[in-house]
Amino acid sequence: MKAGVPISSALLSSLLVTVWLAMAPGHAALATEAAVVPAGNAGRVLTDMAEFLAAAPAFDVTVKASHDAVQADGTHLEFSAQRRVKLARPDRLRIESRDSDGTVDIVTFDGRTLSSLRPAAGVYAQTGFTGDVDGAIVHFVRDLRMRLPLAMLLLTKLPDELNRRVTTLAYVEKTAIDEHPVHHIAGTTDSVDFQVWIRDGREPVPVRVVITYRGAAGQPCFRADLVDWQFAAPSDNTAFDFVPPPQARRIAFLNQVQTIAANPGESAR
Amino acid sequence: MKRAQLSVAALVATTVFASGFVAEVQAAGRLAGAAPMSRGGAIHRGGPAAGGSFAARDRGQGAQRQDSIAERQEDRREDWQDHRDEVREDRQDFIEDELDGDRDWDRDDDWGEVIVAGAVIAGTAAVVGAAAASTRHVYYNTLPCTATTLIVGGITYFRCGSIWYSQIYAANGISYAMVQAPPGY
């Protein structure tokens, strides 16, 4: 990432303000008025993407992800997962994920309750949380200690998060993915290197993300292709309702029980 | 002349085929004798990249900065823990140990994206939290005893004598953990 240029908070902030003013009439206006971003302006491209997602009242996207898992002997194994994310602001979220080993998890939030279901195991965990999707995601990741890759992209405060985290940014090239022109952006935060390919045009969505954990052993990568973006409001909210299967048992999230230490001798059991 | 050309072609083809065959046999021989990967350990599915987060604890470059962050966090944690009892402290240890610590605690208002190590539970139990021998927490794939099942507060608990277990839904999977007895027990 040495080719990247330092990007100051002030610069990103000014970019955000500029783009926000241009988009002030609302998201629909954004979709119709946003011009093709000139190649070479990495900050503008990234800001456009962040503002576009943050302002979207609803979206539906499929995330085809994979990650490197560094083994004890240093070798890399790649595991994959596919997630269908349905988000309807302010307070509806559903994420259905299927890992490469077939494990399915379904996370739902309906504005009052946050639930996670693993159908094959016949168990679910649930906690009350009143608020919006932003709050639910933060609670899910920070307090419940659950995993939600690319969670930042789901937040309305995505522009602020990027503004706060990005330390360098570079425009790599204009290229194409699935025959759509895209901007290839590379950047760094304090702890990771990232690349994002953002669609050129009226809907500047991220279509590919690669994150490299440069400080971790083996420098593993996370990769994701984001496909089938849809922005129509859901016709009904039943998709966000949590309906546990019959006989499903409720178990605990980490923060709902007090785990205790075993005696040292018990560890060998 | 034509026959000679055909013969040469056949010879070349045979040689290529034979060399390929030999190469395959040699490869099979190497495969047969190959050492197992991740010797002595289970396949590890998690790690920093599993979380797909834009934040991670930097163990290499930037480690000094992260140390500083950790120190600040540790200071805050110590203050915070002054008001907690020992059990609570154990639980905090557990969380700290269970999670790989790949998070961004950079600022007080940070919501701390967390990446869980995805600790694989090998065999019946896996020890988590080896930093302090007196505060080890244990995960189980299956209950280590024949338990009585109770539902308290909507959550299922398992009781083996005086020891209570609960299933935990965490980022790295579902497992059993020793827990405090639920309220009223």
Select from B56, B61, B136 the Cβ nearest to the Cβ of A262: B136
CB < 8 Å to A211, chain B: 49, 52-54
For A91-119, write each residue's pLDDT tens digit: 999 999 999 999 999 999 999 999 999 99
What confidence score (pLDDT) does residue B46 get? 87
CA separation for the pair B128, A15 (Å, rounded)? 46
For B70-87, write each residue's pLDDT tens digit: 334 443 333 333 333 333
Indicate if the pLDDT at residue A197 is higher than 80: yes
Test B138 with A266 for CB contact under 8 angstroms.
Answer: yes
Test A123 with B169 for CB contact under 8 angstroms.
Answer: yes
| Percent of chain B topping pLDDT 90 | 11
Mean pLDDT rounded to a whole number for chain B: 59
Q: Which residue has the higher pLDDT, A9 or B156?
A: B156
pTM of the complete model: 0.72
| Percent of chain B topping pLDDT 70 | 37
Residue A88's contacts (CB-CB under 8 Å, 6 or more residues apart) are A57, A58, A233, A234, A237, A240
CA separation for the pair A160, A173 (Å, rounded)? 25
Indicate if the pLDDT at residue A130 is higher than 60: yes
As for the ipTM of the complex, it is 0.79
Which of A253-257, B109-113, B155-159 is the least confident region?
B109-113
DSSP conformational letter for A151: G
Average pLDDT on A234-258 reads 89
CB of B148 within 8 Å of any CB in chain A?
Answer: no
User: Which residues 5-34 on chain B approach chain A with CB closer than 8 angstroms?
Assistant: none
| Percent of chain A topping pLDDT 90 | 74
Element (H, E) at B86: helix B86-98
Which of A33-37, A52-56, B40-44, B55-59 is the least confident region?
A33-37
What confidence score (pLDDT) does residue A6 get? 52
Confidence band, pLDDT 50/70/90 cuts, at residue A268: very low
Size of interface A-B (CB pairs under 8 A): 228
C-alpha pair distances (Å), B177 with each of B58, B169, B180:
29, 10, 10
**Which region holds residue A242: left if phi is over 0, alpha if psi is between -120 and 50, else beta?**
beta
Select from A70, A165, A220 the Cβ nearest to the Cβ of B55: A165
Beta strands A104-109; A113-118: pairing state: antiparallel
CB < 8 Å to B61, chain A: 214-215
What confidence score (pLDDT) does residue A34 get? 40
Confidence band, pLDDT 50/70/90 cuts, at residue B24: low
Average pLDDT on A19-45 reads 52
For A154-167, write each residue's pLDDT tens digit: 999 999 999 999 99
Indicate if the pLDDT at residue B92 is higher than 70: no
Spatial contact of B100 and A191, defined as CB atoms under 8 Å apart: no
Spatial contact of A248 and A122, defined as CB atoms under 8 Å apart: yes
Amino acid found at A267: S
Q: Is A251 exposed, middle or buried (0-12, 13-18, 19+ CB in 10 A)?
A: buried
CB of B95 within 8 Å of any CB in chain A?
Answer: yes
CB of B49 within 8 Å of any CB in chain A?
Answer: yes
Which of A146-160, A165-179, A214-228, B162-176 is the least confident region?
B162-176
CB < 8 Å to B54, chain A: 152, 161, 165, 189, 192, 194, 211
What confidence score (pLDDT) does residue B60 get? 41
